[in-house]
Chains A and B, each alone.
Chain A
Amino acid sequence: MSYRTASFLVLSFLAALGAVYIWFATGLTDSRNRASIGPAYFPIGLGILLLVLCALSAVQTVRRTDRPDLTFPNAGFVGLAIVATGTFLVAWRYLDSFYALTFVFAAGLMVAFAPKRDPKRVALYLGLAAVLTAVIYGLFGVIMQVRF
């Protein structure tokens, strides 16, 4: 995707966000009704500024003479990290085994990201993930008394 196209997409999204933000802000009222400086005053100003700046940035993007490309190297790995994190959070919510999940999450990412996956190295990655889980248990579970 080109930098230009991505810019227009993001700026359109932000402008829509600004419009929705203003719409929500107009519904805000101060129960004590003190003059016009209520809870909507600041947000409406921000929403309008966002729309103006998005329009300005879009014009500047049109006027740009260079045409850089927007690249996402290793997009598969980035996607994997995001999906794995999301899955980890869902599993954390529904399964009652936080430390086991943490071990699986860390070990899974280490193995997936590693350039070589022979049995010896995989054992090393599993060992490292176990050490990390133990550190988390010691630091958060024992010292900080965090209940997961």
Chain B
Amino acid sequence: MDIFDFDFASLFEVSNLIGILLGTFVGLLIGALPGLGATVAIVILLPFTYGMEPLASILMLVAAYQAAEYGGSISSIILGIPGTPAAAATILDGNALAKQNSPGKALAFSLTASSIGGLFGGIVLLFLSIPLASIALRMGDPEFFLIGILGLIAVAGLSGRDITRSFISVILGLMAGTVGTDVISSARRFTMGIPELFDGLHLVAVLVGIFAVAEILSMISTELRRTYIRDNRGLSTRLSLSEFRQIGRATVIGSTVGSIIGIMPGMGAGASAWFSYSLARNTSPKPETFGKGNPEGIAAPEAANNATVGGALLPLITLGIPGSASTAIILGAFIIHGIQPGPSIFLTNTDLVYGIFYGFLLATIAMYVAGKLLTPLFARVLKTPNYLLVPTVLTLALIGVYASNYLLFDLWLALIFGIAFFVLNKLDFSAPAFILAFVLSPILEESLRRALLISNGSYEMFVTRGYSIAILLLIVGVLALSISGAVMRSSKRRKVARQGAPAGSE
């Protein structure tokens, strides 16, 4: 089927529209709240996908992902506190412009750039997916195993603070993924005779535990009594044509960089936002105005973090390999509906795939409209004190877990994972690396074992096939980058420690 042969009327079915609107609303709301990002928004919505049609449920999560990236800029601009890690770069110029009595203008620049970035990412997703899937169709189990390994190494090596502990998190995630009935041999592994574990650790329980419960405990620990003061005036997000022209160059930079970085596993929206900001500043005729309320300093990172969403969905849909925690959760939604993303999805679920692509563009437009209408409302939500927010989110998260599987056992699981990651996060272990590994574990193990069964236990096929060699070279490159980054960080830390030590102590 050609990309334009899609039945567009099916996209406008009530269930799809409700999914998009609900996802957009929750994404904007959760994204706007400081400390809760796109991942939490998707996790909270995941239990609802059980009772929905596959397309409506995926569009809801994608819309939440997209909207949370813009929502994060609301608190960055108004409070000077990033709503999401990816919106940190927006603070520099966004908050500065807001302080010049123009919070509405700053939000308008952010919304416009986010929407254009989102559309750009969606178009990249639409046009690059088929060429990439065609390449993927020529790959076999060894390549899919190596792509999974590449994704895990990239996430652990490039996004964590402590590379060894990020890799430990990957191993723990893979181990957690082995709990349950082995699909190849039907052997029950690590279930300790508990029937609730025969189907493995429940995805929603683990996700809510790690991203919602741990996050809530962290908020209780550090930000329980924090109150945010903000001004309600000047929140209209209207932009004139000349103001729109002001951000054209930065929006193009952000959209391009965001889409490219989104495709790469492990980099994420945060990296793309900072990279775009630097590029926009360094190529600007007036770089000295950055950090003082320059609209380009808002447009570049905001276009980038939204363009990243479309880019990040590309490897998920075409290869079946997520490159971040958020896309790993969206993969979970596919699995819940018995659909395995990958190159063959274009043959088996054509309508679903094109529905996601065009629905993604529709979700971006919904984000723009909702942003125009509701930004002042979400700005008011920022005033909600954390001591009221925490019990609300905790209660909803727990009940969401129960609603997804009707098992109290899963609630205990979520609580245990939440407590564990509350501590592990403080010790520089990586929750995104764990969750990505947990979701990928069955795919990786099956690919590895099938490849080894075919080759009679020989690893030769991992190093003799063209695509395998290319992926292995990429793995070596990412590992080298990760290790050099870790060495640089370590020497910098030692230097700081030496400077801080009293004279003569060495």
Decide whether A and B assemble into one complex.
yes
Interface residues of chain A, those whose CB is within 8 Å of chain B, are 3, 6-7, 10, 14, 21, 24-25, 28-32, 34-39, 41-43, 46-47, 49-50, 53-54, 56-57, 60, 64-66, 70, 72-75, 77-78, 81-82, 85-86, 88-89, 92-93, 102, 105-106, 109-110, 113-115, 125, 128-129, 132, 136, 140, 144, 146-148
The contact sample of 18 A-B pairs, CB cut-off 8 A, is: A10-B424, A10-B427, A25-B190, A31-B186, A50-B168, A66-B496, A74-B221, A75-B221, A77-B221, A78-B221, A81-B394, A106-B395, A113-B224, A114-B387, A115-B225, A140-B399, A146-B403, A147-B406
B402 smallest CB distance to A (angstroms): 7
B221 touches A73 (CB 8 A): yes
**B249 at the binding interface (Cβ < 8 Å):** no
Residue of B nearest to A145 (CB): B51
Judge whether A132 and B395 touch: CB under 8 Å: yes
B467 within 8 A of A: no
- Total CB contacts across the A-B interface at under 8 A: 165
Let me know if A39 and B390 touch, CB within 8 A: no
Which B residues are closer than 8 A to A by beta carbons? 48, 51, 162, 164-165, 167-168, 171-172, 174-175, 178, 182, 184-187, 189-190, 216-217, 220-222, 224-225, 387-388, 390-392, 394-396, 398-399, 402-403, 406, 408, 411-412, 415, 419, 422-424, 426-427, 445, 448-449, 452-453, 456-457, 493-494, 496-498, 500
Min Cβ gap B39→A in Å is: 20
The 4 tightest CB contacts between A and B, nearest first, are: A109-B391, A113-B387, A30-B185, A39-B187
Q: Is the CB of B452 within 8 A of A37?
A: yes
Q: Which residues of B contact A148 (CB under 8 A)?
A: 402
Instruction: Tell which of A28, A66, A81, A140 has the most Cβ of chain B within 10 Å.
Output: A81
Q: Which residues of A have CB within 8 Å of B164?
A: 53, 56-57, 60
A113 to B387, CA, bound (A): 5
Asked whether, in the complex, the Cβ of B388 is within 8 Å of the Cβ of A78, the reply is: no
CB contacts (< 8 Å) of A74 on chain B: these are 220-222, 224
**Which listed residue, A10, A42, A50, A128, touches B445 by the CB 8 Å rule?**
A42
Q: Which residues of chain B come closer than 8 Å to A37, judged between CB atoms?
A: 449, 452-453, 457
Cβ A70 vs Cβ B426 within 8 A: yes
Q: Which among B172, B394, B396, B496 is the interface contact of A109 at CB below 8 angstroms?
A: B394
**Cβ–Cβ < 8 Å partners of A114 in chain B:** 387-388
Q: Check A24 against B190 for contact (C-beta < 8 Å).
A: yes
**What A residues does B426 contact at CB under 8 A?**
6, 70, 72
A35 cross-chain contacts in B, Cβ below 8 A: 453, 456-457
Task: Quote the shortest CB–CB distance from A69 to chain B (angstroms).
Answer: 11
Beta-carbon nearest neighbor of B227 in chain A:
A115
Task: Other than A35-B456, A37-B457, give 11 A-B pairs with Cβ distance below 8 A.
Answer: A41-B452, A46-B174, A54-B168, A64-B493, A66-B493, A82-B217, A102-B399, A129-B391, A140-B403, A144-B51, A147-B406
* B494 close to A50 (CB less than 8 A): no
Chain A residues with CB below 8 A from B408, complex form: 89, 92-93
Contact status A144-B48, CB under 8 Å = yes
Chain B residues near A113: list those with CB within 8 A.
220, 224, 387-388, 390-391
Structural contact, B185 and A38, CB atoms closer than 8 A: yes
> Given known contacts A31-B185, A109-B394, A114-B387, is B220 in contact with A46 (CB within 8 Å)?
no
Given A31-B186, A37-B457, does the pair A3, B427 have CB atoms closer than 8 Å? yes
CB distance from A11 to the nearest CB of B (A): 8
Q: A78, B217: Cβ atoms under 8 Å?
A: yes
